Structure 1
């Protein structure tokens, strides 16, 4: 078996070597379905930018993803289809000008939309997009008043109570909702036929926010805080609008995006238009140019609008995996990658400093353009990548010291680690009548981040296993393990991902395989192994907050599960052997399971297919098997 493992590893390593850019990074696609493609068409048409080659290409890609029943899906096994994505596709194809309502494919899509409740049943962000492009009535109120941005951080609930991901999307939404802005062009299609009842369009009855007694009390508190602000109401309102505008402008990355996300940049462009800024203003021109720079090409050569780029994430994980497989830290492929990563370490303060004011910058971001928006996962991944060079390269040593201090400073008060910001999981935020607020507005501790941080600290630093940060992280995992032995992973799919992160992290900090946390997790992983030796988990796990099998195996899920079992085992068990056999036999497989999403954004709204994962995690797992059991 070792010979076959070496052969497969060499094949993967050769592929990865060939795919590295001259600058040292890997630009594998960060694929999120069709929603970004649809919104890009809508944006270009709204701005009257007639980039016909791009619009045609995006339209063709959208059409190729349509199901036989007329719907579009977020993931392969999503029942029937996804209403919001289907609305977005229907709208974009009409707005492109290359398709009309009478074509069979759009008749089928329209039928699916109306059968499933029409626009009224779509998610909040879809309704906001429709409202700002003149297809939907803005609500009488938006539950987050724009004046909230003026409340001090000391107030029980304030703008910085939300996660940075929430804030950067909320800021433009607050401006747009306040202005009740909408824009139409001569090419804007008419979507009245997507409403079940005509009055829904005419009066906006369907754009409502759920209310509760708790929300009414919270709303009263916020309004009292706003009334206590000094100045006339009109002055306060004007000041809040200017603050919100400046919040966006001060967080524009050098490439022109708002914190490198498609969604926030898309919304920012419309928000600036609502404030009277011209379509030809350099800020808007640069933002559109930056979005276009994030376009990738699929296997058919068709454009896909990425939600962001994943260059730092891809590069840090791949360089770490290559070194785990035996590639020297002095190898040219590793040197080029680490030189790239060293340039991407952050030296600027970002929003994370609001809740972590005593720490110095030292993290890494996710994307190519990220300079002020670091996250814990990218930081530990990048530190793993440069670890072997710390004692022989002063640049790595400096980056190492700053990076570790930043990671340790980001630990939440509850003992776990978040993604972007410290202590932004206020229970009060959950009372806001915003759809899926727990994903959109909070950044809680999670098992995948906590486990992976513990794994890094245990394997790559000399911190004592009884160090307070390590002990608190272990305690958090103990408190948050599911009854069946698994852990929920917030940023991956989903329980297999969280369990892999937790088990490898716990073992790295000295928790024994006989500990109930580990033994329960191992038992669960063995129980869900498929008959072909692999593992697979459905995105429906994320939607339903319980493990749901995919009923098929994937390379990435299998690699996660086997790697966790390797960490927890002293010898190659039957489950491990069968999992390794699956990887060896299917390493070059190309089918729907290869493209199945392995990452999560907001549950039910978008899922991520990382094109790099099919290389990263099989390399890592096969390397760990060979290292431990050869």
Structure 2
């Protein structure tokens, strides 16, 4: 490996760099809320807005929505091809497009409307409704636009399985669990709600409505056993032979009630919120019931209404955004006791989760102490947020440093007990890794489990190394061994929670730089070479979401501010650790950020660089293109004299 040692011909004007940093700091500070936190928009695709319209139609509460603004939003999101996109510039995705079409029909738009004619043509060109995902078909079945025969069964009695049984609801990922339990009620009752206006979507079946086959697709492998089981489950339900049916439904209802947050939501994400409110409707709850009202209020808090549009976020990210904002401001030179940083740090301290959540079902040793992603999510603190928050708090100086350190220590102790058997860390649970669960027909998004991943593992290790923290035993070595096994042949690492290999590689490099530079120099050099090799000619880095579907596209895409910053952070951290920098690549990347900064001190990017479910759900965090570039510029400024 030959890393550049010579001075780069690409020069950086340090005065311009310092001004860019100051401008970026000012912009980010201007985005801080009075309570001390940051929270940017969490943009995804249109399905959650469409499903919110469906939910209100089912409850008969749609009049409380600004319906004309919802329609305007959906129309604006339609692309030139007639469809709606899963992520920016993907050309349109069939399930997303069908749900948008459904929502516009629910809003009273005629199928003869030019926008819907174009949408129909697009949807039919992709195979029509029969080619959509299970959850799209489920939403259509609720209003009689798809037949329940084509929806897979979920036996309600799984809710009764003991926690130590080889399969139980806690073997599902947290997000799948929160979404599935209410569907134990809905899928088994198979409701068809009467709505106004009444319509069908027969025009969206490419094979013709009379030729539709309501069957689950065969995989031609061992997983087809689930198709046989599905037929058995459906037969037993049809003949009222489901064991413990009433008890199962009651247990599911109680689980939903027990898991509703004080803020009214479930799991801090929209799918469980929608599913739980549908379950309440199936159970004939009154619309004025406090649980129903709190649920709708939670959805309303996830919505964004401006002068002309109304849309719904999948989640809100105040803890996550605040942690990264604090880190970027400190690392770019703001004093640790700056008033804004103190306010943000104290706000974070107050968000620490001190309740036993679902993680404790499998983890009998840990005591609570993590942080969650949202304002309130006491059942599901996560390792990624917790690592970021510990590093953020470590960097700021608060009036009560003893309280801060105690909170950090408590969190680290909890995180240590969440290490998975393979050696890494997962997002929300420990040893939630039964791959066969992803093969059940219901789980066609392939996101039913929460195994350990390289990016989360790297976050924990970076936290330990950068903050001078220790955990007991050989946990660090086990984690390093896990990362060694996860490194790709070309030197990169997969990114589960950010797009994609650039995100994963940068995170692991930052971790190795502070905790294992002496023992992992070959791995780091190989990763550096890979990052440098996929730098774009404009000096930036970018990677398309399609790299999840096609790994040959890894590291390939139009340059974005956030992905350029990730690459730079990884290169800068390893350069500092190894004493040898990829100087030319770094300077070209810095110049890209300087050249693309707006006069307001920020950056703009339309691309989605956050990942919910690989291949199926992506996120555009509106603050990613602000705090990550600021962090990269700040780190470069500190290290520039060494290059």
TM-score bracket, normalised by the shorter chain, equals: over 0.9
User: Any conservation in 2 of the 1:38–1:89 contact (CA below 8 Å)?
Assistant: yes
How many angstroms apart in 1 are the aligned matches of 2:469 and 2:73?
50
User: Any conservation in 1 of the 2:351–2:371 contact (CA below 8 Å)?
Assistant: yes
User: Any conservation in 2 of the 1:157–1:222 contact (CA below 8 Å)?
Assistant: no
How many angstroms apart in 1 are the aligned matches of 2:480 and 2:398?
27
Change (3 A) 1:236 1:589: farther
Change (3 A) 1:323 1:297: farther
User: Any conservation in 1 of the 2:159–2:252 contact (CA below 8 Å)?
Assistant: yes
How many angstroms apart in 1 are the aligned matches of 2:263 and 2:116?
36
For residue 209 of structure 1, report the CA deviation from its aligned partner. 5.1
For residue 267 of structure 1, report the CA deviation from its aligned partner. 0.9
For residue 546 of structure 1, report the CA deviation from its aligned partner. 4.5
User: Any conservation in 2 of the 1:137–1:207 contact (CA below 8 Å)?
Assistant: no
How many angstroms apart in 2 are the aligned matches of 1:221 and 1:117?
27
Determine which of 177, 186, 190 is the counterpart of 2:196.
186
- Please name the residue that 1:381 is paired with: 388
For residue 593 of structure 1, report the CA deviation from its aligned partner. 6.8
For residue 516 of structure 1, report the CA deviation from its aligned partner. 2.1
For residue 173 of structure 1, report the CA deviation from its aligned partner. 1.9
For residue 279 of structure 1, report the CA deviation from its aligned partner. 3.0
For residue 15 of structure 1, report the CA deviation from its aligned partner. 0.7
Q: Please tell me whether residue 511 in structure 1 is matched to residue 520 in structure 2.
A: no
User: Any conservation in 2 of the 1:132–1:270 contact (CA below 8 Å)?
Assistant: no
Say which SS state the counterpart of residue 191 (structure 2) adopts. coil
Determine which of 31, 39, 47 is the counterpart of 2:59.
47
Say which SS state the counterpart of residue 149 (structure 2) adopts. coil
Residue by residue, what CA displacement relative to the aligned partner does 1:124-161 show, whole Å, maximum 9, x if unpaired?
11111111232211137734311112112222222211
Structure 1 length-normalised TM: 0.92
Determine which of 269, 272, 275 is the counterpart of 1:267.
275
- Please name the residue that 2:496 is paired with: 490
For residue 628 of structure 1, report the CA deviation from its aligned partner. 2.1
Determine which of 79, 83, 92 is the counterpart of 1:67.
79
User: Any conservation in 2 of the 1:147–1:236 contact (CA below 8 Å)?
Assistant: yes
User: Any conservation in 1 of the 2:541–2:560 contact (CA below 8 Å)?
Assistant: yes
Determine which of 14, 25, 29 is the counterpart of 2:26.
14
How many angstroms apart in 2 are the aligned matches of 1:180 and 1:592?
48
User: Any conservation in 2 of the 1:412–1:418 contact (CA below 8 Å)?
Assistant: yes
Say which SS state the counterpart of residue 67 (structure 1) adopts. coil
Residue by residue, what CA displacement relative to the aligned partner does 1:530-559 show, whole Å, maximum 9, x if unpaired?
000000100101233443455421000100
Q: Please tell me whether residue 476 in structure 1 is matched to residue 488 in structure 2.
A: no
Q: Please tell me whether residue 426 in structure 1 is matched to residue 424 in structure 2.
A: no
Q: Please tell me whether residue 406 in structure 1 is matched to residue 418 in structure 2.
A: no
Determine which of 599, 616, 619 is the counterpart of 1:608.
619
- Please name the residue that 1:155 is paired with: 165
Residue by residue, what CA displacement relative to the aligned partner does 1:453-481 show, whole Å, maximum 9, x if unpaired?
111111103428x9612111111110011
Residue by residue, what CA displacement relative to the aligned partner does 1:508-538 show, whole Å, maximum 9, x if unpaired?
1022497221111111111110000000100
How many angstroms apart in 2 are the aligned matches of 1:40 and 1:480?
39
Structure 2 length-normalised TM: 0.91
How many angstroms apart in 1 are the aligned matches of 2:17 and 2:465?
27
Q: Give the unaligned 5+ runs of structure 2.
A: 1-12, 234-239
How many residues in Structure 1 have an aligned counterpart in Structure 2?
617
How many angstroms apart in 2 are the aligned matches of 1:417 and 1:311?
23
Change (3 A) 1:399 1:13: same
Q: Please tell me whether residue 326 in structure 1 is matched to residue 333 in structure 2.
A: yes
Determine which of 610, 617, 623 is the counterpart of 2:628.
617
- Please name the residue that 1:628 is paired with: 639
Q: Please tell me whether residue 343 in structure 1 is matched to residue 350 in structure 2.
A: yes
Determine which of 527, 534, 541 is the counterpart of 2:533.
527
Determine which of 70, 75, 84 is the counterpart of 1:58.
70
Q: Please tell me whether residue 171 in structure 1 is matched to residue 181 in structure 2.
A: yes
Determine which of 225, 241, 250 is the counterpart of 1:242.
250
How many angstroms apart in 2 are the aligned matches of 1:551 and 1:514?
29
How many angstroms apart in 1 are the aligned matches of 2:135 and 2:632?
38
For residue 411 of structure 1, report the CA deviation from its aligned partner. 1.0
Residue by residue, what CA displacement relative to the aligned partner does 1:99-131 show, whole Å, maximum 9, x if unpaired?
211111110101111121111001111111111
Change (3 A) 1:145 1:592: farther
How many angstroms apart in 2 are the aligned matches of 1:220 and 1:240?
22
Say which SS state the counterpart of residue 89 (structure 2) adopts. coil
